[in-house]
Each structure stands twice: as structure tokens, then as C-alpha cells.
Structure 1
Amino acid sequence: MLAAWRIPLPYPAEPALPAPVTIRPYLGDPVWHPGCVKLIWAALDQLDDLASQAQAEVDGHRDAGARYGRTGITAKTHAGSPSPVSDTLDELYGDLVKVEDPWRQARGYRTRPQRARGGPARRASIAFLLDELDGILRDPWSVDFGLNVLAWHHRLSKLTKSDPPTRRSPIRCPRCSERQVSRTDDGYYQCQACEKLMSQAEHDRAHSEQADELDQEVHAS
């Protein structure tokens, strides 16, 4: 009797399960968040200014400690080098061309011109990477490159104990999260969006914390 009152189903059988998702997810758009792209671009753009400041302190010893083939951010300079700063800048150039050379090959560009190591070679490599940065940061292998750029910016900032001549800082404002922090004439940093004022120590601490957060986010993905 109860069966006569049973409401019929709107479909004859249980619907089939959807096909499994085959799209591979990536962190960001598709690798980096747009805000991180701005941070990396600003840091890369400032590397030569910082390197030039460091070199100015040891002018006259430019080639004293140069060694070829040095790569890797954590590599140590030779204890007996008469110019550790020159060693560091030589190491920086090695890291830059370690990205430039395979990218040129992958894109079908001509081989990097032979350059004598020094300021002009470093600037040429940075200019090339800046021009190609949008494409580079869309590739999954760019995770290490982006983190290396931020690490080099932090390392050279500590080496020179100052920021590059450009007043714009790559950090997010700790108060409003906008990337509009600039250096003032009296040595402080101020956000142009919310007017938060920071000392050099506060700025450097925020820079270090944000770089660590970005590192954790990328490796947690």
C-alpha cells in the first residue's frame, strides 16, 4: 500500500561520477602571485645599484679576488682573498648567467656575447633578465630563481648597510600591505599609501620576514 505513494525519481538511475580532474595546479598565476612578481622585479632592478655601491668601497681592487665558475647564494668567499667584495660580485654574476644562458637556449635566442666580468657585464645580464622576466616567472623552474633574486637583494643590502639610490623599496607596508614604501631624505622609510614611518632596522626586519614568508609559501606548495 505504501509503495503506491512512492514518488518516482526524476532520472532512471544514479548519475555517473564526473571525470577526474587532470589539470595540474600551480601556486600563483600560474607560478607567482602578482604581488610577488612586483617584489622580484623591484629586487632584480636594484641589484646593480647595490653591487655598484659595494664595488665603490673597494675601487682599485676590482679584479683582485675574481674567480670563475662560482655559483650559488650560500657559497663562501675564499679566506685568503684580498677583496671579498669582488668575490661576492663575481659570484652574483655567475648566478645571473646561470639563468640567462639556459633561458637564451630555451627561447632560441643567440648565445650570450662573451663579456669580461665586471660592472658592464653584470648590467647587461640584469637588463636581459628584466626584459625576459614576465616569461621567466611563468615557468615552474623560476621558483629557485625568484628566491635567489630576493636573497641576493637582502645579502647586498646587508653588505652595503644601505639601500640602492632608488628610493622605492620592494617590501609590502606592514600596516596596509601596499608596495608603496620609499626612503625619505632623513633615512627613514615611509609608506605613501598609509604614511607609516619605519626606521632602517624596522624596514630591514620587514624585508627579511617577508622574504622568509615567501620562501615558506613556495616550498609548502
Structure 2
Amino acid sequence: MTGAPFWCLSDSSAIRSALVDLDRQMMLRLFHHDGYGSIDLNERVSSSPEPASPSDAHDQLDELVRWLRSWQVSYWKICGWSHTAYVGESAPALTEVTSALCAHLDGILSHTEYAVDFGSGVLSWHSEVTAAAQTRPRRISMQMRCPQCHLATLPRLEGEDRIECRNRDCGANRGGPVVMTADEYHGLAEAVIVASGRRR
């Protein structure tokens, strides 16, 4: 519970644990969602003029880093400290900014202008990322063999449109493994069925 407007010792500890754990939970999120979902290329990331990337996990990472960095820059400014922004929005940037904020968390959580909003935000972000990280999509094995290596190595993550051959040697001399959309897969499967019928 919050005081006026400070956090009690128990909740301060919870915020610190959540801030430290954000890094680990986001790595799990990225690991479990390394495929690409079906997106609208005109869709834009929240608070960004740039189009959304093919990965919602990486979009969430970038948004989290921007949120944490905005608090870091603001707090450093009122303390009169110099701040060199980390170049890029990525996993190393998340580690850097969470470490910096953890080092000064006691001061942030005792500041009347930062304590409640920052603490609440950290807990909210941790809950959101943790929930997403624990939702691992089911891998579906497609029935048709890979048209390039001819092995049964075509999976699709449930809810996603991308199908990529899991055979590491697939297309070694042709620029890489087969990658296709679900529509392309079904079109190819129909063509194989038609061709098979003609040979009978």
C-alpha cells in the first residue's frame, strides 16, 4: 500500500524485485515469441511514429526501454547528474537502464514526484511482461514436407502466419531455409494435391 505518497517497506521490496526481474522476464518473452505474427504494416507502435515491427515481443521491449529511460533521464536531471543515453532499443539497453534505476531506487521511491507513479508503473509492466512470457504458443507440425529439403520439418506457431523449415541444412546453398506464409503453404499444398491427381 502507498503512504503519502511513499511506499511501505514491503511494497518497496516488491518494486525492487519486479524491476530486477523485468530483464529476465523480457528475455523469456523474446525467447518464446521469436517468430513473426501477422501484422498490418501500417500499424504503428504506441508513442512511436515508426511502423510496428513483425514481432510484438520486440515492440514491447522497445516500449519498455523507452518508458524506463524516460524516468531515468527525468530523475537524473533533477539530481543534476549527467546522463548518456544508451544507443539503440534492445535487450542490452534494458539491462543497462534497469541496473541504473535499481542503483538509485531508494531515492526514486522516496521522492514525492516519482515514488507512486514509477513504483506503480514498474509493478504494472512486470505483471504485463510476465503474463506474456508465460504464454508460450503451441508449435503445430504441418503435414506437407518442406519443398526444398523434402523433410517433415515445417512448423507453425499457433496464432502466427509464418512457417519456416526447422532443418538447419535446408537451403544451405540456396540462401537459407524455406520461409512462407500460411496462405503460401496452403496454395502449395493444393498444387501438390492437383499434381498428384493428374499422375493417377
- The answer to whether TM tops 0.5 is yes
Distance across 1 between alignment mates of 2:133 and 2:86? 29
SS at match of 1:138: coil
Shift in Å at residue 137 of structure 1? 0.2
Match of 2:125 among 129, 133, 152: 152
Report the aligned-residue RMSD: 2.8
2:78 aligned partner: 106
2:22 aligned partner: 47
SS at match of 1:146: helix
Render the CA deviation track for 1:87-139: whole Å, top value 9, x for unaligned.
11111111101100011111111123342110111100000000000000001
2:3 aligned partner: 27
Render the CA deviation track for 1:149-201: whole Å, top value 9, x for unaligned.
00011101110117xxxxxxxxxxxxxxxxxxxxxxxxxxxxxxxxxxxxxxx
Pair member with larger Rg: 1
1:70 aligns with 2:47: yes
1:23 aligned partner: none
Change (3 A) 1:68 1:102: farther
Shift in Å at residue 148 of structure 1? 0.6
1:38 aligns with 2:38: no
**So what's the TM-score if we normalise by structure 1?**
0.51
Matched pairs, number: 126
Q: Percent same amino acid at aligned positions?
A: 29
Q: Which runs of 5+ in 2 are unaligned?
A: 136-200
**So what's the TM-score if we normalise by structure 2?**
0.56
